[in-house]
Structure 1
Amino acid sequence: MTGPAEGMPSPEHPCISVVVPTYNRAALLGETLDAILNQSLRPHEIIVVDDGSTDGTAAMLAARYGGLVTACRIPNSGDLAARNFGLASASGDLVAFCDSDDLWHPDFLGAMAALWAAEPRTRVAFANFTILQDGQHGTARKFDAAPPGYWGGLRPVTPDGGAVFDAPIVDRLIHFQPFFPSCMVADRRFLLGIGGWDASVGRVVGTDFATALLLAEHAPFGVVSRPLVEIRKHAGNYSADVQAMNLGDAAILEHVLRRRPSLVQHAAAIRDSAARRRADALDIAFGRHDHAAVRQIYAQLPGGHRGWRTRLKLGVSTLPPPLPRFLGGTLLALGSWRAGGGRG
Structure 2
Amino acid sequence: MKASLASALEHRGNDHADHTQNFERTTGITWHAPVPSGWVDGRRLSVVLPANNVGYCLPMVLDALEAQTYGRHFEVIVVDDASTDTTAKTIATHPAVTAGLRLPAPHGAATARNLGTYLAQGETVLYVDADMLLPRTTVADLAARATEHAVLTGFRHNLPHGAAWPHTGPDLAADHRVTWRPPANTSLLYSGIVLRQPLDGRPLEHTREFRDLGHGRMYYDWDLPRMVVTALLAVPRAAVLDIGGFDAEFGRIGWGMEDTYLGACLIASGLLVIPLRQAVGFHLDPPDAAEQWQHKLGTWPATLARYRALLAQPARSGRRAVFTASMNSLLHSCEVLR
TM-score (norm. length: structure 1) = 0.61
Counterpart among 29, 43, 46 of residue 17 in structure 1: 46
**How far, CA to CA, are the matches of 2:102 and 2:179 in structure 1?**
37
Assess if the C-alpha contact under 8 Å between 1:173 and 1:216 holds in 2. no
Tell me the distance in 1 between the aligned counterparts of 2:49 and 2:203.
33
Is the alpha carbon distance of 1:64 and 1:129 closer, same or farther for their aligned partners in structure 2, counting shifts above 3 Å? closer
SS in 1 for 2:91: helix
Equivalent pair of 1:123/1:190 in contact (CA under 8 Å): no
Q: 1:261 aligns with which of 298, 312, 329?
A: 312
Aligned length: 244
How far, CA to CA, are the matches of 2:295 and 2:219 in structure 1?
A: 19
Whole-Å separation in 1 of the counterparts to 2:291 and 2:139 = 24
- Does structure 1 conserve the Cα–Cα contact (< 8 Å) formed by 2:55 and 2:90? yes
Distance in 1, matches of 2:39 and 2:97, equals 15
User: Is contact 1:16-1:94 (8 Å) kept?
Assistant: yes
Do the aligned partners of 1:94 and 1:186 also contact (CA within 8 Å) in 2? yes
- Given candidates 201, 221, 229, the residue that maps to 1:175 is 221
Question: Shift of residue 179 of structure 1?
Answer: 4.3
Which has the larger helix fraction? 1
Letter in structure 1 aligned against 2:47: V
Shift of 1:153: 5.7
Deviation string, structure 1 residues 32-70 (Cα, Å, up to 9, x no partner): 1111111111552111112222324333333332x7421
CA distance in 2, matches of 1:221, 1:178: 8
Q: Does 1:30 align with 2:59?
A: yes
Distance 2:314 2:174 in 1: 29
Aligned counterpart in structure 2 of residue 60 of structure 1, from 90, 111, 127: 90
- Aligned residue identity for 1:27: Y
Question: Which of residues 254, 269, 288 is equivalent to 1:204?
Answer: 254
1:170–1:26 distance in 2 versus 1, CA, 3 Å: farther
Residue among 35, 38, 46 paired with 1:7: 38
> Which secondary structure does the structure 2 equivalent of 1:251 belong to?
helix
Aligned match of 1:92: 122
Which residues in structure 2 correspond to 1:47-196 (within 5 Å)?
Answer: 47-65=77-95, 68-76=97-105, 77-116=107-146, 120-136=147-163, 137=165, 139=171, 140-142=173-175, 143-146=177-180, 147=201, 151=205, 154=208, 165=211, 168=214, 170-172=216-218, 175-176=221-222, 177-196=226-245
Give the C-alpha shift of residue 135 in structure 1.
3.6
Give TM-score, length-normalised by structure 2: 0.62
- Give the whole-Å Cα distance in 1 for the aligned partners of 2:292 and 2:102: 27
CA change 1:166–1:193 in 2 (3 A) is farther
Specify the SS of the correspondent of 1:39: coil
Displacement after TM superposition at 1:196 (Å): 1.2
| Structure 2: gaps spanning 5 or more residues | 1-36, 181-200, 316-338
Amino acid of the structure 1 residue aligned with 2:46 = S
Structure 1: where are the runs of 5+ without partners?
1-5, 155-162, 265-344
Q: Which amino acid aligns with 1:195?
A: G
Distance across 2 between alignment mates of 1:263 and 1:238: 37
Partner deviation per Cα, 1:276-320 (whole Å, 9 max, x = no partner): xxxxxxxxxxxxxxxxxxxxxxxxxxxxxxxxxxxxxxxxxxxxx
Q: Measure the CA separation in 2 of the matches of 1:43 and 1:164.
A: 31
Match of 1:193, as an amino acid? D
Q: 1:244 Cα shift?
A: 4.5
Deviation string, structure 1 residues 45-103 (Cα, Å, up to 9, x no partner): 111112222324333333332x7421112222111111100000001010011122221
Contact 1:210 1:253 in 2 (8 A): no
Residues 175 and 15 of structure 1, relative CA distance in 2, 3 Å threshold: same
Alignment check: 8 A CA contact 2:49 2:79 kept: yes
**Shift in CA distance, 135/150, structure 1 to aligned 2, threshold 3 Å:** same
Distance 1:193 1:70 in 2: 23
Larger radius of gyration: 1
